[in-house]
Structure 1
Amino acid sequence: MTAILMKFLLDRYYKDGQLLNARYEIIKTVGAGSFGLIYLCRDIENNEMKIAKQLRKSKRLKKGGLELFENEISILGQLNHSNLPTLYDHFSTKKNHFYVMDYIEAENLDEKIFIHNQMFNEKTALSLFSDLLQVIDYLHSQRIYHLDLRIPNIILKESEPYVIDFGLAKNMAGNEQDQQHVEEAMRQQDYYDLGDILLFLLYTEFDSDSKKALPWTEELTLKKETTHLLKRLLGIETAYTSAAEITADLNRALQLYKRT
């Protein structure tokens, strides 16, 4: 059976109006990721809006699928930050597995850029990057590594970024083995992804008639401090080893705008 056929036969959406766990009334389906189906729900106990994520049955039947979902639930349950999801509930019913988290009424960066054509100049891109860095630094302080930082996984509400989707995240807390090199690789992956997001933001103002693709160092006109920051994040120059190092270079880039 092909993966597409499995999804068609097994991954059926719950209908609007249905109750999940006798508590969460489905308002509408709002998304479908590779692992989960996502619903906007009303919590009938307190009349609050919530997001419920359902593990695809096709993924549950695959080796490790349920373990990944349970790992995501475990990580969400440990988060305590205003710019990260809050886990409220998790349950299983009729061999379906769900978790419930808070609803953030906002759009992700992918929608902001490609649907609403929002652009970020160098200053606003660096400012947003600064806020994101603080969230990722919190995760790393808990020995949690996101490992899937992309613009669809960044929600922007009134210029405030929220990081979502912990389906690929790793929690190394409680691991007594010497995993320093493994954690360093994970940290570098998150830093690289942050650099990629920053570069993406900076390209929103780029417009060229040239048909020849050039490296970003030639296409974008950036202050040298921003270029230096990007090169280190993307591993072109010596990689950063801590958020403190990144913050020092970031502040040098932002300081230039405070002088103008």
Structure 2
Amino acid sequence: MAIAASFLWILNSCKPASPPDVAKVAHSERVNTSDKQATTLLSKTFDRLWHDQSWLAPQPSQAVLDQCESFSSGLIKTTWQPVTCTRSVKATAAFDGDFAAHNLKLHKALKSMGWIASGSAIPDVITNYYRPMNGRPQGSPAHAYGPSDLPDVTYSRAPQIAMNIRWLTRGSPLDLTSSPRSGEQTVTRENKQLDTQTVTKALRNHRYVIVFNLSSRYFDATQSPSPTTSPSTSYCACWSGNLCTCPGG
């Protein structure tokens, strides 16, 4: 009897856990409220960026990808991770002039606003890649090394917001599709693709295009709900200068 009971206990302990109801969470009032806050935060981030960096000419089309999901782990017993939701917005801007000088100015502005590079920062990319390699033959078929060959850079800023940056030049591949992840435990709340024709047109009239991808993990089922629906509670956006949505800021 003891052996049989132990065997049944083992079978029961190894039984796969039931996945969370991602669809129910994704369409809940709490997620809807948090998503609105994230949307406001990302919009204000871009507005501030365009205002401060007057050398950038923002393009009209933006891509949006908003998803809630849960992942499973475990070889013997399946464990499901808490549901998280992330909103990403991709925007482009054209510019001309001194590539290095403009982007170093951008790095300085981001740093002053509290953004921290995750890995290589813009000055590292300029020093280690752009300056020593710009114009040299590269790849097959051979082409002159340029901004579109530079590695991406990523900056982060609390709470759970990230900014990925890359560059395009005329003739470079326009891989700007925001592909939603698919899976049984993934719910796509919004998926809007960027109009690549606006980028193609921008590159006919300008020398460079910079691609910003802002993302915010705005919901985590392990975190307690915010006591208020005010965007300033969960998404504090204090900038250098006089724009501050933080309490008491």
TM-score between both structures, scaled by the size of structure 2: 0.24
Q: 1 or 2, which has the higher strand percentage?
A: 2
Which has the greater radius of gyration? 2
Q: 1 or 2, which has the higher helix percentage?
A: 1
TM-score between both structures, scaled by the size of structure 1: 0.23
